[in-house]
A and B are shown apart, each in its own frame.
Chain A
């Protein structure tokens, strides 16, 4: 029944002198309230003991960025500036240079993402034609200065 919780409420008409007296003294209401709090007390808690237990992120969680590499260990990025253009927060800054490999013209010399500006929308990932950038499921970012929050190309490759 949907209204099971309302045993002590007024719209339940008690029968008999004892039941009426107890109802008037709020005895059923108090007992049903205490039953409820006991339920809450023994219910498992949602709290995670954070530093020891870390939350398992759902699939597709948008955390820190990573620059991907192909099977030969070369970075996939061709410095096309699509992600930099797509980025609504303007946190990506690419410096392009000539590619050391023959199958492409350009490769990034520097690839910076300002993690303080980034809004983790995933537009860079969607814009990339080479599938070279993606958002990982890492959500912890610890740093002691603003400079550290600007990830350079090596940091992004090693992510």
Chain B
């Protein structure tokens, strides 16, 4: 019984990290957007407007679910779920805290965690393609083509940027990657070279590339061409209404959380923070502190996402593709070569 209880507790904890923060972050996004634009933002529902996501949920649920005539009903309704599932699935290998007793705070301790996340992330694009295609609407189809082309292009650079961290840590196990960065000061974080000063440029470049690719991968501004509501008819979810649209929107936040969690884990030291967490302390309190550190890191990164969203204008489609294929891909390949040379020379 006990292993199942522990597994259940870990699963609930991991899900709470993601499913709790996702809706909560919609209110952060709206408030920050409002502040940047000189407005106040939603502040009426509950204290400080904190219950706004609940009101949004009620609105989404109480709207009519419309399936267009001649749309493929099954695929149409399956689309949002196929976008919704991968981020949750991927989050189960992200370590969200230090060990408590003998248990890693991680739903599934896979030795190939990084590969698993990469492969799971890339399946999210099928939901978008199916949703756009099944809508029986040419604008939705074009939107889904835009979205999938963008995601597939940036997945390449994203994978190479992740590879930098993997090369620094010589492991695909996210737990090992985080533990290598924990308890040795800021210099041990992969973004600062993973303990070797000679790797600092590679770490910084890798993290920068990964951050930008994650923006593109999550369809966030300045790369939100797939769903620029104002001028391109909504994108792949043009025909969606009610909760299926809500699921699309929620899964956008969930994949943001997954991306931020992955970036935090492989580049920014995961749940560790010099002076606050102690990797050798496996008590419950230390576990909770490390969890709080991890969540703070994720939320700060998502705040930067929102900050960037309301600062930078959108790229044109050709600029987006140029950036992905002609700038990021060569840059990450050069970065890998550089890091490999440094690694072989053993400086």
Seen from chain A, the residues whose Cβ lies within 8 Å of a Cβ on chain B are 30, 33-34, 36-38, 40-43, 45-47, 49
- Residues in A with CB closer than 8 Å to B32 are 41
A30, A43, A49: which contacts B311 (Cβ < 8 A)?
A30
- Residues in B with CB closer than 8 Å to A42 are 35
Q: Which 6 A-B pairs have the closest CB atoms?
A: A41-B35, A37-B311, A47-B40, A33-B311, A41-B36, A37-B36
The answer to the question of B54 belonging to the interface, with a C-beta cut-off of 8 Å to chain A, is: no
Given the contacts A45-B40, A46-B38, A47-B39, A38 and B307 also touching, CB distance less than 8 Å: yes
The digit string for B109-125, where 1 denotes a CB below 8 A from any CB of A, is 00000000000000000
Given the contacts A37-B307, A38-B307, A30 and B39 also touching, CB distance less than 8 Å: no
Structural contact, B35 and A33, CB atoms closer than 8 A: no
Structural contact, B39 and A45, CB atoms closer than 8 A: yes
- Residues in B with CB closer than 8 Å to A43 are 38
The digit string for B245-270, where 1 denotes a CB below 8 A from any CB of A, is 00000000000000000000000000
Q: How far does the alpha carbon of A95 sit from the alpha carbon of B91 in the complex, in Å? A: 80
Question: Which B residues between 21 and 54 are near A, CB-CB below 8 angstroms?
Answer: 32, 35-40, 43
Structural contact, A40 and B36, CB atoms closer than 8 A: yes
Q: How far does the alpha carbon of A46 sit from the alpha carbon of B39 in the complex, in Å? A: 8
Closest partner residue, chain B, to A36 (CB atom): B311
The answer to the question of B317 belonging to the interface, with a C-beta cut-off of 8 Å to chain A, is: no
Seen from chain B, the residues whose Cβ lies within 8 Å of a Cβ on chain A are 32, 35-40, 43, 307-308, 310-312
The DSSP consensus for interface residues of chain A is: helix
Closest partner residue, chain B, to A46 (CB atom): B38
Q: How far does the alpha carbon of A37 sit from the alpha carbon of B33 in the complex, in Å? A: 10
Q: How far does the alpha carbon of A40 sit from the alpha carbon of B43 in the complex, in Å? A: 19
Q: How far does the alpha carbon of A93 sit from the alpha carbon of B43 in the complex, in Å? A: 45
Determine how close the nearest CB of chain B comes to the CB of A50; give it in whole angstroms.
Answer: 11
Determine how close the nearest CB of chain B comes to the CB of A39; give it in whole angstroms.
Answer: 10
Q: How far does the alpha carbon of A45 sit from the alpha carbon of B43 in the complex, in Å? A: 14
The 5 sampled A-B contact pairs (Cβ below 8 Å) are: A30-B311, A40-B35, A40-B36, A40-B37, A41-B32
Determine how close the nearest CB of chain A comes to the CB of B95; give it in whole angstroms.
Answer: 30
Closest partner residue, chain A, to B222 (CB atom): A30
- Residues in B with CB closer than 8 Å to A41 are 32, 35-36, 307
Q: How far does the alpha carbon of A37 sit from the alpha carbon of B221 in the complex, in Å? A: 15
- Residues in A with CB closer than 8 Å to B308 are 34
Structural contact, B310 and A37, CB atoms closer than 8 A: yes
- Residues in B with CB closer than 8 Å to A47 are 39-40
Closest partner residue, chain A, to B33 (CB atom): A41
Determine how close the nearest CB of chain A comes to the CB of B136; give it in whole angstroms.
Answer: 40
Determine how close the nearest CB of chain A comes to the CB of B41; give it in whole angstroms.
Answer: 9
Closest partner residue, chain A, to B310 (CB atom): A37
Closest partner residue, chain B, to A25 (CB atom): B327
Q: How far does the alpha carbon of A30 sit from the alpha carbon of B310 in the complex, in Å? A: 12
Q: How far does the alpha carbon of A37 sit from the alpha carbon of B32 in the complex, in Å? A: 10
Structural contact, A40 and B307, CB atoms closer than 8 A: no
Given A37-B307, A41-B32, A45-B40, output 14 extra A-B contacts at Cβ < 8 Å: A30-B311, A30-B312, A33-B311, A34-B307, A37-B310, A40-B35, A40-B36, A40-B38, A41-B35, A43-B38, A45-B35, A45-B39, A47-B39, A47-B40
Q: How far does the alpha carbon of A47 sit from the alpha carbon of B36 in the complex, in Å? A: 13
